[in-house]
């Protein structure tokens, strides 16, 4: 292909420099379109240290790079996130260092959730209603796993971070890598297959499912329903570390433990070797101290036994002294007991003495009272008042007319003798 003709007049042809052409195109875009209003879904949002924000605005048919400078970002009334559907007011331009079409955002407002975000929320609500996110079903991470499994891409930076952290913390624990793509159409099924491959290994006791940061589209493989159910049905605990601390996926909610980053996932899957060694040193020192104390006590007992064997007279003197002390204690105890009993008997002696003095008079009074009672019961006293005691021939007292019959002999006892009577007439 020929760009220039040998006969052409190069003097009349205008030759642009790259920068000048970019500047001219930028001026044409600004003058042609001016201020435009665009609706789209945010993707790949980043915030620079300067406060400026850079993002991609997209829909089903295309995408545009956008820049939002600090003064505009600080004036927003909401916090834009990846997946949000927004409307922007922007100026068209050309980012001359790279020759890329760029929108410079002057204003932004929410326009509803993006399609990916809506799909994420629908799947989240469905799995949450089924109980896949319940804390009660999640398992504890073993502090000392025999083997650690890792599912990620072999080309991912996350793999290097995870392996570095594991070599630093637990270099003694074997690591098995089950590779899989972490983005793209084939990623969800590949992740499920890689997870199943690790579960087929009986020695694997914990699995790390990790990936570095990215846009919502980049992380979409971890929002797959089949992957979520594979995590829940795993026979071993699964630690998920996907993206950055602010990124959340369905896999995070289903995991037995969610880590903010891949490195954090590696740090959470097992106890640090240094901590284990420090704890081992601590218990070794405790055991050594206890053993030393036990040996010292045994030596002291041995020394005492040696002294007693070497001087039996001293041991006898000690025993005699102990017996003397016990005998004195016993004597004092008996004496004190007798004194207490004697003191307790003194009131009883006084009571007996008083009883010996008072009892005859008391008995005399009781005898007089009984004598008076007997006298009051003497029938002779009744007979003195003119009454007679009647009895039949058998000596039985007659107290009723019903006991009498005509011609019956009756004995009447009076105060000074008896009289024989006969019943002549009954009423």
In terms of domains, do 369 and 385 share one? no
Q: Is residue 332, in this structure, part of any structural domain at all? A: no
pLDDT at 10 exceeding the cut of 60:
no
Residue 355 structural domain: 338-373
Most confidently modeled range among 78-82, 132-136, 309-313: 132-136
Q: Which structure tokens are listed for 249?
A: 């996926």
Confidence of residue 23 (pLDDT cuts 50, 70, 90): confident
DSSP 50: T
pLDDT at 15 exceeding the cut of 90:
no
pLDDT per residue over 172-187, tens digit each?
899 999 999 998 888 8
In terms of domains, do 366 and 386 share one? no
Q: Is residue 417, in this structure, part of any structural domain at all? A: yes
In terms of domains, do 82 and 160 share one? no
Q: Which of 271, 287, 313 is the last residue of a domain?
A: 271
In terms of domains, do 72 and 170 share one? no
Q: Is residue 329, in this structure, part of any structural domain at all? A: no
The residue written with tokens 């009756």 in the block is 410
Confidence of residue 3 (pLDDT cuts 50, 70, 90): very low
In terms of domains, do 54 and 75 share one? yes
The Cα–Cα gap between 208 and 214 comes to: 18
Confidence of residue 56 (pLDDT cuts 50, 70, 90): very high
Average model confidence (pLDDT) for the chain? 84
Q: Is residue 324, in this structure, part of any structural domain at all? A: no
In terms of domains, do 346 and 393 share one? no
Q: Which of 271, 302, 328 is the last residue of a domain?
A: 271
In terms of domains, do 345 and 226 share one? no
pLDDT at 9 exceeding the cut of 60:
no
pLDDT per residue over 204-227, tens digit each?
999 999 998 877 778 888 999 999
Q: What is the pLDDT of residue 1?
A: 43
In terms of domains, do 240 and 356 share one? no
Say whether pTM exceeds 0.85. Answer: no
Q: What is the pLDDT of residue 119?
A: 81
Outline where 208-311 has alpha helix (H): 225-232, 250-254, 262-268, 273-310
3-state helix, strand, coil split of the chain in percent (to 5) is 50, 20, 30
Whether 214 and 187 have beta carbons less than 8 Å apart is answered as no
pLDDT at 228 exceeding the cut of 50:
yes
pLDDT at 2 exceeding the cut of 60:
no
The Cα–Cα gap between 255 and 208 comes to: 10
DSSP per residue, 298-335? HHHHHHHHHHHHH-HHHHHHHHHHHHHHHHHHHHHHHH
Confidence of residue 200 (pLDDT cuts 50, 70, 90): very high
Whole-number percent of the chain with pLDDT over 90: 27
For range 16-32, the mean pLDDT? 76
Q: Is residue 305, in this structure, part of any structural domain at all? A: no
Q: What is the pLDDT of residue 310?
A: 64
Q: Is residue 304, in this structure, part of any structural domain at all? A: no
Q: How many domains does the chain have?
A: 4
Q: Is residue 136, in this structure, part of any structural domain at all? A: no
SS3 of residue 113 by DSSP: strand
pLDDT per residue over 374-405, tens digit each?
877 777 677 777 778 788 878 787 778 777 88
In terms of domains, do 149 and 262 share one? yes
Of 85-99, 112-126, 210-224, minimum mean pLDDT range:
112-126
For range 305-326, the mean pLDDT? 76
Most confidently modeled range among 33-42, 203-212, 274-283, 371-380: 203-212
Confidence of residue 308 (pLDDT cuts 50, 70, 90): low
Q: Which of 232, 252, 271 is the last residue of a domain?
A: 271
The Cα–Cα gap between 86 and 57 comes to: 9
Most confidently modeled range among 134-143, 291-300, 408-417: 134-143
Pairwise pLDDT comparison (102 vs 26), residue with the higher score = 102
For range 133-139, the mean pLDDT? 91
For range 294-311, the mean pLDDT? 77
Q: What is the pLDDT of residue 383?
A: 73
In terms of domains, do 266 and 157 share one? yes
In terms of domains, do 363 and 408 share one? no
Q: Is residue 119, in this structure, part of any structural domain at all? A: no
pLDDT per residue over 63-88, tens digit each?
899 999 999 998 887 788 888 888 89
Q: What CATH number did the domain enclosing 210 receive?
A: 3.40.50.10550
In terms of domains, do 152 and 96 share one? no
């Amino acid at each position: 292909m020929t760009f220039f003709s040998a006969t052409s007049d190069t003097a009349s042809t205008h030759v642009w420099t790259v920068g000048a052409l970019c500047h001219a195109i930028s001026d044409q875009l600004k003058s042609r379109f001016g201020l435009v209003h665009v609706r789209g879904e945010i993707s790949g949002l980043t915030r620079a240290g300067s406060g400026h924000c850079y993002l991609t605005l997209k829909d089903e048919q295309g995408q545009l790079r956008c820049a939002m400078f600090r003064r505009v970002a600080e004036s927003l009334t909401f916090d834009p996130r990846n997946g949000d559907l927004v409307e922007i007011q922007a100026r068209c331009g050309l980012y001359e260092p790279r020759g890329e079409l760029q929108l410079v955002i002057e204003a932004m407002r929410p326009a509803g959730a993006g399609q990916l975000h809506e799909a994420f929320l629908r799947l989240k609500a469905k799995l949450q209603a089924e109980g896949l996110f319940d804390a009660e079903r999640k398992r504890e991470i073993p502090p000392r796993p025999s083997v650690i499994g890792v599912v990620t891409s072999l080309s991912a930076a996350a793999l290097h971070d995870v392996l570095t952290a594991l070599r630093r913390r637990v270099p003694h624990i074997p690591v098995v890598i089950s590779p899989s793509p972490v983005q793209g159409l084939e990623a969800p099924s590949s992740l499920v297959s890689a997870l199943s491959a690790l579960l087929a290994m009986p020695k694997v006791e914990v699995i790390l499912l990790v990936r570095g940061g990215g846009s919502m589209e980049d992380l979409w493989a971890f929002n797959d329903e089949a992957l979520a159910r594979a995590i829940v049905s795993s026979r071993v605990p699964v630690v998920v570390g996907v993206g950055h601390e602010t990124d959340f996926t369905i896999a995070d909610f289903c995991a037995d433990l969610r880590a903010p980053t891949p490195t954090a996932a590696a740090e959470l899957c097992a106890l640090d070797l240094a901590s284990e060694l420090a704890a081992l040193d601590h218990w070794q020192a405790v055991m050594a101290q206890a053993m030393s104390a036990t040996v010292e006590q045994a030596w002291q007992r041995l020394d005492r036994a040696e002294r007693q064997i070497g001087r039996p007279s001293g041991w006898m003197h000690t025993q005699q002294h102990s017996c003397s002390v016990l005998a004195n204690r016993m004597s004092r105890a008996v004496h004190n007991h007798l004194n207490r009993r004697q003191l307790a008997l003194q009131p009883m002696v006084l009571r007996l003495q008083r009883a010996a003095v008072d009892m005859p008079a008391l008995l005399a009074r009781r005898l007089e009272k009984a004598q008076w009672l007997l006298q009051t019961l003497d029938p002779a006293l009744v007979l003195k008042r003119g009454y007679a005691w009647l009895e039949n021939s058998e000596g039985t007292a007659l107290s009723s007319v019903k006991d009498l019959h005509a011609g019956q002999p009756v004995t009447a006892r009076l105060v000074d003798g008896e009289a024989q009577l006969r019943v002549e007439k009954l009423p």
